[in-house]
Structure 1
Amino acid sequence: MKDLQKKVKDLANDVEDEVESQVLLVREKDEHIRTEANERLLKILQQAIENIDSLKQELNKQTKNNKLQARNGSVGHSYSPQLDVSAIENNMVGYNFEQELMLRKLTGDSSEMEVISIVGMGGIGKSTFAKRLFSDPAVVSFFDVRGWITVSKDYSLRNMLLSLLQYATGVKEEINPQDQENDEEEKNKNAELADRLQKSFKGRRYLIVVDDIWCRKAWDDIRLWFPENNKASRILLTTRILEVARYASSPKDPFPMRPLEPKESWNLFCQKAFGKVDSPTKFKDVGKIVVENCNGLPLIISVVAGTLSSTTALEEWNEVAQGVSSLVNVDDYQRCSRVLALSYNHLPSHLKSCFLYFGVFAKATEISVKKLIRLWIAEGLFEIRGHGDLEKVAGSLLHDLIDKSLVVVSKRSLDGKIKTCRIHDLLHDLCLREAESENLLYILDPSASEPERIVPQDCRWVSVCSYQGCFSPFLAYNKTRSVHFSEYMGSYVLLGQDHFKLLRVLDLGRLKWTYAPRELSDLVSLRYFAVRSSVVIQYLPIYRLLNLQTFSFLLDDGSPSPTKTMQLPNGIWKMSQLRHVNCRSIYLNSPPKISADDSADDAKYRVLENLQSVTGLSPLCCTKEIFHGIKNVRKLGISGDSDEFYREPKCLDNLIYLHELEALHIEFYHGYFRYGSRRCLPQPSSFPPNLKKLTLHQTCLSWESMTIISRLPKLEVLQLKTDAFGDSTDLDKTVWEVTEIGFPELKFLLLEGLSLDHWTAADDIFPCLERIIIRKCLRLKRIPRGFADSMTLQLIELHQCCSSLVNSADRIRQEQLECLGNDMLKVEAFDTIRVKERKIRAPATRGVRERTRPQWRI
């Protein structure tokens, strides 16, 4: 089947290449060229149809053979449940709190049958944790019957039924091959066994572990075997798929298996490597690095430690410290890979492509979700029908990979959306191996000789993680779809159409460009173009790139404000596919008129219908005409110096024309906000009607202006960053007094780097607020007592704040607990600043989680 799958992919890629090549020629001005291209295109499609029909016949034949082999292979195999359970290692380290919690669930007071799901990525220790619970003395004494079945992807209902009957009755039965002569007889026999099993459970309290289940259908196939007998019976289920865990769990949500904390990881490593809780001195430093590279995955820690336990050569330890893929025992490394590869093999084909794309990023890096989704869209890795939202579809695919425990969430935004994600190093190795085997990805080795840097024929993705000098493509690049430079610092790139005519993605990383190469305009298939440069390039010929979806040009000169504003060409208004424009500071000319009436009031202008986000827009561009041209934009960032805002004092009132706008970011460049910046908010009636998120940075507003913001009817997220209100150089005390009922829908509030001394609010303000984050507000000593009556507040998170503010937050938490009986509110403090005069450090306030370093959150 793998060979057949490769034939299908190769055929699809070849047809795609040939069709796109002819489409480029169909657009030529020369009529003779267009005619020949159309004729060739017809022949290409006719031949493709014949090849597809041939492959379909081969596929049908192979599918029938596979079904026959699978049926014959399942006959005559017995199943030993005791062997299965005993094979699971049970010397788990860590998870002590989780074990106590789970034991209370298993032996709780509820008499109803409950299904408890444990979910997590492969190798994280789900089965080991379940075995730890399965063998706990409290569980052994509580249940009359305990049974264990392993489902896996290719499960046999007959084997599982016989296994459970052996647990329940103590009698072992063998499969009679004659019972599986046809499907109908097999169903009847299974129904008979299921009936016997249900009767054996009658009047008895049972615990059944359903290990390694992969799909909802598998649970549907077995769920009726377990009767509700009001005896406090339990089903403990383990899976890698969150969807399955949610589907099966009843009555509560699944239990997510977390990675090991650093201390737990170190203890497990030492136990496996040295048989004790500490290491010899000479291995301690390098051992810490090895453990860190394992990223809290118990399987990898155990295998690495077991491998290193047999060697005392420090050089071999240092080799493994460079990455777990450098295991000295190749067999052990492959064993780990096979465990993780099961999750990949279970993916549908479109999700496999999305997952393999993680290989273009450098190992152990956090990946921007926004960037990842835009790259997936540009590459065309998934199909969408009709007029669906591309970003939403791509986002759902990412959530699928997260739910299948292949991708880990690293950071979230204030409103809980995923900002960055990552994959485990071993999964990254899996991406590289699978993508290279399918001739999808080539990683350019900077240390290789020039002949070895030739990309293999037909390779689709090229990733250059680190490379100095001139990058000159070879002819083999003519079918490449994307080129990524992660940390490229060269001075020139040859981008000729002869080599890159079908290129869709060009991510140039950090360049020392002083001008744009002429060949850029030849890349007419380009959909994603991103570059960081130390200087503004005034002329970028992107107007010819009519397929471009994402354009990102960011300055990387280290200065807090740009030296110049980039002026985009007028031809940008013809780029109908454009979805995202991301720059530090850009200037747009008004869109051309498309109506016959030239009067200012009635004229119609060209509209970029697909444009979703624009960042870095100059205040001088905040005109009615331009906002009409980008009327569908959902996210807008406006940034400039105060002189630009001063020249157009009412420019932001034009935001009223952006009816689809949901997120607005307004920023003054550092050092310019003193002159005329007090007027950088729209009139209350001129705010976009659907605004949900507002970020202000260095706007230096007066706190009285907050009354305007408080009236926004749909505002859910408010972020006030450095000097958004007040002035850090002002020594006078500043007060934010919230007196009127406002902020009707606000859920998330961020205060960062503000010169705020006092904050007061009545108890009925912020009726929907769920989360408050305060960072580096050194002058703020107290949080309003009115929050003690809030029934919605769930978290107060404090970073680098004074101890009195932390104590104030904890008093609110205690009042909620004592007066309202509400234990929902949590207080977390990071890097708390203590008063210098105090010689004795006070103990951490009870209930406040104090930390000095970030933590992984799941």
Structure 2
Amino acid sequence: MAVTGLECVSFRYVFDQMDSLLREEAHLLGQLRPSLQDLRGELDSMRSFLRDVDAAGESHVMRTVADQVKELIYDTEDLLDNSHHHVRHTHRHGFVGLLQSIPYHLKHFPAQHRIAIKIQDIKTQLQSIMMRRQRYAINLTEEGSSSRGGKGRLHNRHVAPCFLKDSELVGIDRPREELVNLLVNGEQKLTVISLVGMGGVGKTTLARKVYDDERVKGCFHCHAWIPVTPKFEIEELFKSIISRFHENKSEPISRRIDTMERDQLAEMIFEYLKDKRYVIVFDDVWHINAWNEIKHALPDDNCGSRVLVTTRIRDTSGKSYGHVYCLDPLTQSEAWLLFCKKTFHSIPEGNIPLGIEGISKDIVELCGGLPLAIEAIGGLLSNKEKTSIEWKKMQDNLNTELSRNENLGHIKIILSLSYNDLPEVLKYCFLYFSLFPRNYPVTCITLIRLWIAEGFIESESGKTMEEVAEGYLHNLIDRSMVQVAESYDYGRMRSCRVHDMIHEIILLKSEEENFSKSLIKQKPGMCKTIRRLSIYNTQADVLQDMSFSHLRAVFLFGSMSKTCMHKFFSSFKSLRVLSLAGAPIKTFPVEIGNLLQLRYLSMRNTKIRKLSKSLGRLKYLETLDVKGTYVSALPLKILNLRHLRHLLAYHYNTGRDPPFYYTYGVKLPKGIGILKNLQKLSYLEVNNDSAILKELGNLVQLKRLGIVKLREKDGQ
């Protein structure tokens, strides 16, 4: 666990909001200004403290401290959103504006006073946390050392699979032959082969079987197997390389290597391997800089030398080097065979109890072809009673089993390594998949818009937020953490998903970090404030006695009663994202106009026919998606949404009579040219209104435009 990982994303957002308030609205803050400056100082100190904690390592005490601070950061986010809205809406220009604002300020003075009290309350709680830490004299160095030792031991997780008999392995023959061929044949120049795949897919097991193959052993003068930790030291790595080569040749090692500098060690390796045909396996390389550091120590003398790198990162070996071999999960038949070997080894072939065969196949499907998961879960089930009740319990409670069952703990550890290695800005983006059902393909552009609405995306000079977010998504795919689900005919990604087992890990992490919560039919026991919520076919009483005032995102999958709907809309205050796609709604809920912080609103594929004027109050709205509804015209108040970036409002006719396939757009009010941040507008129904076309010239950010009912004379 990286203590500061998620907190730093929130810290960045909070500091950006604070700096914006202090810089842009300084003359409007009044008595709030010094309070905000003091709070920023307290948070800055806390961020430095948490970074020290992260460097020292994990501890239960530090987790408690981090959780407490995180909740305060969330509270600060809510406070700043309200402060921004309050300050900006009390602004009046000029002397006349000043006179007009006096009664307004008197009216809203209580609100300003409440903000000041809340700021002081957060400061007091932060100071209290720091005082408790000092009182209990937490020693970061001692706690961190034990933690780091644990992490180091966990990295030796591959030892057991490496020595499995071939008869115990499934689906390894073809990739082993292909990799052996790449190592022993081919051109004479130094070649790097990058074996890429997600955690748990069997990269290390395959690489070890290839490395130990007699054809490989007999083809090279020097051999070395080098494990690479996520946080490696290049000097220690160089020493490992030297030690392995000398040990394999039973040669003495100079004691001088303990005192050598990096360049001296690299030179020693270079000289030792000069004019030799060598093979080196670097197991579990995490970063491109690891290979960039290593490659300068390896000579290329056209002796047919080979380097095999196992990695979860697709570009680890660099574009100019070698061959990339992608290791896919097992096929359905291979996965079933492996499961049967691990689970039913004491049962004669073909005699699997009928009552559990169907459940067994469902469990195998859940493992998604990952040998690590199949072997662990199969081994656990092999010791359980062969009854449908016992096995169904495992299937339904896999998430809980992963977090609590020691026999499955290494699955969580291995799959969590990829998460822990993520840059801070990507952790929230990755956890967002927890809000979608298992095996759910998420449209890439939708995911990108959601990340932006939540404030996860850092601005980069010369790029739109959408372009930066797309880079984040590609990063997650390159790390084998997200899979491409579907692509367009021209090659661009359309949708993506996460592996089923990865989804289980995401749910665990989301629970640990209090990132999100799912309500599935029954009411859960919760002690923390909910920040993001997915709702699956809930009953009315599930939402009773629950507070939603701190919610930042809500996703509805399936139906919900009208009572629940009204309760929701009346209690949201900090909501940024609301997805009601497919909900059984016939009229636009007027209460949505009270969600003043809303950035993303989807009512796709609902049955609404008209948008309420209250929509115009959503000043910060960036995405409005009413695709697949019966909305035929947008209200004049839509022109108030100056931050709007994506407007989707159309539906398709797929009737029996011609035209069989037809797109219906929407009519836009005059003045649409004022929405200068629009990047996507589809579909505009011209309908003999050429004036609306002229206004499109003002939409200079527009990247995609859909038009229907365009006349020939309007074309130019």
The reply to whether TM is greater than 0.5 is yes
1:346 and 2:418 matched: no
Matched with 2:705 is 636
The aligned counterpart of 2:37 is none
- Within a 5 Å distance, the mapping from 1:230-379 to structure 2 comes to 230-245=302-317, 247=318, 251-275=321-345, 279-281=350-352, 282=354, 284-311=357-384, 313-315=386-388, 316-322=390-396, 324-325=398-399, 330-379=405-454
Partner of 1:666: none
More strand, by proportion: 1
Q: Which moved more, 1:520-529 or 1:285-294?
A: 285-294
Query: Secondary structure at 1:464's aligned position in 2?
Result: strand
Counterpart Cα distance in 2 of 1:398 and 1:278? 44
Are the counterparts in 1 of residues 439 and 500 from structure 2 also a CA contact under 8 Å? yes
Tell me which residue corresponds to 1:595: none
Residue number among 572, 588, 606 corresponding to 2:667 in the alignment = 588
Tell me the distance in 2 between the aligned counterparts of 1:379 and 1:255: 36
The one-letter amino acid of 2:310's match is T
Residues 424, 361 of structure 1: alpha-carbon distance in 2 compared, 3 angstrom cutoff: same
1:568 aligns with 2:634: yes
Inter-partner Cα distance in structure 1 for 2:70 and 2:180: 49
Pick closer, same or farther for the CA change 1:43–1:287 going to 2, 3 Å: closer
In the aligned structure 1, how far is the partner of 2:179 from the partner of 2:483? 24
After the TM superposition, which of the residue ranges 476-485 and 162-171 deviates more from structure 2?
162-171
Query: Which residue identity lines up with residue 428 of structure 1 in the other structure?
Result: H
Corresponding position: 1:143 with 2:220: yes
Give the 3 Å change call, closer, same or farther, for CA 534–47 of structure 1 in structure 2.
closer
Q: Which whole-Å CA distance do the structure 2 matches of 1:46 and 1:175 have between them?
A: 63
Letter in 1 for 2:342: K
Q: Please give the secondary structure, in 2, of the residue aligned with 1:212.
A: strand
Partner of 1:673: none
Relative to structure 1, is the Cα distance of residues 621 and 469 closer, same or farther in structure 2, using a 3 angstrom cutoff?
farther
CA distance in 2, matches of 1:496, 1:84: 52
Q: 1:425 to 1:118 in 2, by over 3 A?
A: same
Alpha-carbon distance in 2 for matches of 1:414, 1:626: 31
Bigger fraction of residues in helix: 2
Match of 1:18 in 2: 79
What runs of 5+ residues in structure 1 fail to find an aligned partner?
Answer: 180-184, 557-563, 593-604, 640-644, 655-685, 687-858
Q: Is the 8 A contact 1:111 1:230 kept in 2?
A: yes
**Alpha-carbon distance in 1 for matches of 2:196, 2:368:** 18
Report deviation, 1:498: 6.0
Is 1:403 the counterpart of 2:478 in the alignment? yes
Note closer, same or farther for the CA distance 1:591–1:338 as it changes in structure 2 (3 Å cut): same
Q: Quickly say closer, same or farther: Cα 1:86–1:582, change in 2 above 3 A.
A: closer
Percent identical pairs in the alignment equals 27
1:490 aligns with 2:561: yes
- Which structure would you say has the larger RCO, counting Cα contacts within 8 Å and 6 or more residues apart? 2
Find the aligned partners of 1:196 and 1:462 in 2 and give their Cα distance: 57
After TM superposition, give the deviation of residue 325 of structure 1 in Å: 3.9
Q: What is the RMSD of the two structures over their aligned residues, measured on CA atoms?
A: 4.0
Q: Assess if the C-alpha contact under 8 Å between 1:88 and 1:127 holds in 2.
A: no
Q: Is the 8 A contact 2:548 2:568 kept in 1?
A: no
Cα shift at 1:204:
2.6
1:269-668 aligned at under 5 Å gives the runs 269-275=339-345, 279-281=350-352, 282=354, 284-311=357-384, 313-315=386-388, 316-322=390-396, 324-325=398-399, 330-385=405-460, 388-448=463-523, 456-469=527-540, 476-492=547-563, 493-494=565-566, 499-532=571-604, 535-540=607-612, 541-555=614-628, 564-583=630-649, 584=651, 585-592=664-671, 606-620=673-687, 623-626=690-693, 628-629=695-696, 631=699, 632-638=701-707, 645=709, 649-650=711-712, 653-654=714-715
In the alignment, the residues of structure 2 paired with residue 607 and residue 16 of structure 1 have an alpha-carbon distance, to the nearest angstrom, of 30
For 2:170 and 2:211, the matched residues in 1 are separated by 16
Q: TM-score, normalised by structure 2?
A: 0.75
* Partner amino acid, structure 2, of 1:570: L
Q: Judge conservation of contact 1:568–1:588 (CA < 8 Å) in 2.
A: yes
State the shift of 1:361 in Å: 0.8
Aligned residues: 611
Structure 1 counterpart of 2:79, one-letter code = E
| Distance across 2 between alignment mates of 1:349 and 1:166 | 35
Q: Take 2:138 and 2:222, find their aligned partners in 1: how far apart are those partners?
A: 41
- 1:440 and 1:237 map into 2 onto residues whose CA distance is 34
- Following superposition, the deviation at residue 187 of structure 1 comes to 6.0
What's the counterpart of residue 34 of structure 2?
A: none
User: What amino acid maps onto 2:645 in structure 1?
Assistant: R
**Unaligned 5+ residue runs, structure 2?**
1-52, 54-61, 91-100, 652-663
CA distance 1:31–1:162, shift in 2 (3 Å): closer
Kept in 1: contact 2:329–2:370 (CA 8 A): yes
Match of 2:31 in 1: none
Could you say if the C-alpha distance between residues 12 and 447 of structure 1 is closer, same or farther in structure 2, counting changes exceeding 3 Å?
closer
Aligned residue type for 2:206: F
Q: Per the alignment, do residues 532 and 110 of structure 1 end up closer, same or farther by CA in structure 2, a change over 3 Å counting? A: closer
Change (3 A) 1:56 1:376: farther
Alpha-carbon contact 1:144-1:204 (below 8 Å) kept: yes
With normalisation by structure 1, the TM-score equals 0.64
Partner deviation per Cα, 1:764-790 (whole Å, 9 max, x = no partner): xxxxxxxxxxxxxxxxxxxxxxxxxxx
